[in-house]
Structure 1
């Protein structure tokens, strides 16, 4: 049975508030836990009116506290925005509080626009430089304690002591993180839901190049996908219309709340708009449970994915919960629906 997981971006929907989006995340996490999903990851984005999730560490603690079995993690922490020591401290704290239930997913993008990126990093040295590899190496050294004896960091004790970092996953939408995570022997998660790079190339490159390490003895590749499911194809298409309009607006640099199907169906699309949406539908799986399961399983077989992680941009919270419930039943992980 193919494991399936949840990537929740804490969508802010039209007519609602970011606070309500965060409350919905907690509610959906309890639902996913009861349904038998494997993981529940939350993202780090800044200055995006459509996404309320800016502090994954805080949300991870809240989600883990209201669930029982599901693994909870970051999809991901944008490492260039943070001091590696702080990342290590925060995730060791989470691991101490919720042993064997936390995942540390790391990304190298800022998760925002250039001005906000500057605001996040302006007190750091050379804020415009790409120092992801240096930060990742430092984070690893905080865990392995392999700083040279003469290095000042060798005398710094991370608290809580005696707690290991959670499993590390490198996130990517190109082949960069695929090659890097394979070389380091870490887990890999590919963002098919917005990537332009071929998912099969990235996933197979990771698997073929993987080297066993202290982090992981065999490869594990998660494929992030966007899916919207309903009892009928017609209802799924109606729900997906909001995601279609949201995509179109993002391509124009408009990052407002996720629109409702009613807003989307009333929108005056041009032929060029409809062609953009049609092309994007190759990255969005819409339909009845059997339709979506079949298409996702086919993609998982081609990419040799070990796990699917599903994000669902659905305006109505109850309809989003229903979509995850139908998919859980279709994939055979739950008998609740």
Structure 2
């Protein structure tokens, strides 16, 4: 099937980057590409649920593959998926579909891989939203056959945002990659699936680059570093005699409710241009100091990811039978931190007003 080869090539800092744009790839064309395909979604976590529901809303032939009787199975039934019709076990869903969207957790992919592999058919499309299993195949043992296509669409947001923005029409952004193109339709299927789950545009990457950037981002600015920065500033303000409420509001509340939304809407330079002269001077000066300190730390994190140290730790931790208990304890420690206890309490107060 011939499909639109449309993309836009843009230059960013002297680097040519191909962008697939929604306006160049009409939804009707994308649906036409997939109208005779059965699409299975394995997993019903945030990404699995969002992508499955978005595709179903386009009236495509979508089925779920889940562990029969498990918690996700029950959640799917509540979302009107029908057992033994469009809600099947993983083996059945894989075997009866043309496109298999593997949206299980990284560990879940490892655990279910033999079941998936044994039920794949020639010319199937294997779809991922994260390159972990494929890129780290020497640890995950996820080695797909050569007679299928392997593609990736990786949303740059949570599954909850994928669904919310699909319903609102706001859309999201993803990277995409073609790992194996056996049928010569991998590109067409990849971009069709990408736009049908709600992307405004997609940029090209590889499975390797997606994993390295994603794992680095999670450990640094997206989660690990921002949690550390919030806690560190809160502790310093309290140490110097500021009340817990003042420390909280100058650290978390103002960032999340005022400044970060403005950065998202207007950009960082707009924020700097539209704050007080005192804030401008201090932020410009101290940002340079922080940058010098942070570059070697982030670089060390990147090398830890690239050297496979991080994936080894993830797999080693998850192979420990008691890991779930240990992890729950670590997560509870974060929830119990004074900063987030205040946050929780004030959220309740705000809702009551």
TM-score by length of 2: 0.25
Richer in helix (by share): 2
Q: Which has the higher contact order (CA 8 A, sep 6+)?
A: 1
TM-score by length of 1: 0.26
